[in-house]
Amino acid sequence: MSDEPSRKALPSEAIRIVPIRETYDGSLLPISYTLKLDATIINRKTKQELQAVIGEKALDIGKKFLAVHPSGGRLRISHTGLVLGFEEGRWVVIGAVSASDWFSTSENQET
């Protein structure tokens, strides 16, 4: 099985009401990412940049996450498309993405 299977693990549309800054302790997809201070988002395992997958809109997505999580750093994704940043020893919600705005993910692997 590939580390980067189908996109169907994430919703086709991003969640509209997102609990920004709330602690998250639910299930996470197995892949982790890095949000850099220049708004670049990178798959930590493959080193692939989101911009290579979805084009220039990747920087807008990164900027949106930096506005909420200005230190950048580790990111994870929930099965519902919530984007989580790690801070002060916990995962907090910093936004949401749809399948078309993110890397390929796996629907049958959990952390």
| DSSP notation for 34-101 | EE-TTS-EEETTT--BHHHHHTTHHHHHHHHHHHH-TT-EEEEEBTT-EEEEEETTEEEEEEE--GGG
Task: Give the pLDDT score at 18.
Answer: 81
CA nearest to 44, candidates 9, 98, 4: 4
With 50 as the cut, is the pLDDT of residue 1 above it? no
Which residues does 39 contact at the CB level (< 8 Å), separation at least 6? 59, 61, 62, 63, 65, 66
Residues 5, 20: Cα–Cα separation, whole Å:
28
Q: Supply the pLDDT for residue 43.
A: 97
pLDDT, tens digit, for every residue of 52-100? 999 999 999 999 999 999 999 999 999 999 999 999 999 999 999 999 9
pTM metric for this prediction: 0.81
**What is the tens place of the pLDDT at every residue in 19-56?**
999 999 999 999 999 999 999 999 999 999 999 999 99
Q: Which of 1-5, 38-42, 107-111 has the highest mean pLDDT?
A: 38-42
Residue, of 98 and 6, whose pLDDT is higher: 98
- Amino acid of residue 84: L
pLDDT at res. 106: 55
- Hey, what are 23's tokens? 């602690």
Per the model's pLDDT, the better-predicted residue between 6 and 25 turns out to be 25
In which residue are the tokens 């979805």 written?
54
